[in-house]
Amino acid sequence: SQQGEEDPQALSIQEGENATMNCSYKTSINNLQWYRQNSGRGLVHLILIRSNEREKHSGRLRVTLDTSKKSSSLLITASRAADTASYFCATDPFYSEGGKLIFGQGTELSVKP
Amino acid sequence: ETGVTQTPRHLVMGMTNKKSLKCEQHLGHNAMYWYKQSAKKPLELMFVYSLEERVENNSVPSRFSPECPNSSHLFLHLHTLQPEDSALYLCASRQRLGGGQNIQYFGAGTRLSVL
């Protein structure tokens, strides 16, 4: 089964509001990553947080990681209509041959102008 | 543009056709992947190639046949597909970062419709 489980599956907010998405996983990891996918396009890497890090920032993105709870959250602050997309967490498990990542089911974010 | 190019972007084929999907990257990455993305389903990893050797085949039916002639090119050969194979097929390549960390660069995908 997929390692990453995201919550919520869909999120609708107004422009300017913050969006928070959560991800849970099951096994030990090297790192956890977040990707974004615009409709019908490929995924784009947003941010990586290592297993020994607890929080990381990149622009309007803030990611937290709690390895004791095997969970992560992605916060997008001051959202814009252009942030409308699906967001996926991906875990990089230990002893992964070929650098395989395990993707979650994704959260569909809709930001209304 | 991510540097990973997939062609064609759209493909419609009958169940008896044979077609191929192509993926190309000149980023110097040495691992490449095929994923299948169906509506309302998680991304499914199909094949992993590392240094041109297939290291993983996730129980994919034999009607899908991958080929990796060199580290820059990856193909997915399709024959006698079923309507349930209609999906977005994504190719990705791996960038190694420091400390054993990896991220993936994705192509824009091929939207496949099997009639």
Interface test with A, best of B6, B35, B104, B112 (most A CBs within 10 A): B104
Q: What is the pLDDT of residue A2?
A: 40
Percent of chain A with pLDDT over 70: 93
- Taking contacts as CB-CB distances below 8 angstroms, the residues of chain A near B45 are 100
3-state secondary structure of A52: coil
Range from A49-63, A84-98, B96-110 carrying the lowest mean pLDDT: A84-98
The answer to whether the beta carbons of residues B91 and B34 sit under 8 Å apart is yes
- Average pLDDT of B61-86? 94
- Average pLDDT of B38-56? 84
- Average pLDDT of A9-16? 96
| Per-residue buried b or exposed e for A73-85, using 16+ beta carbons within 10 Å of the residue's own CB | bbebeebeeebbb
Neighbouring residues of B115: CB distance < 8 A, sequence distance ≥ 6 = B12, B13, B14, B15, B83
Query: What's the rounded Cα separation, in Å, for the pair A2 and B40?
Result: 14
What confidence tens digit (pLDDT) does each residue in A28-75 have? 899 999 999 999 899 999 999 999 999 999 999 999 999 999 999 999
B 58-87 residues with CB below 8 A of A? none
Kindly give the residue spans of alpha helices, DSSP state H, lying in chain B. Answer: none
Checking if the pLDDT of A1 tops 50, the result is: no
Q: Is A41's CB within 8 Å of B109's CB?
A: yes
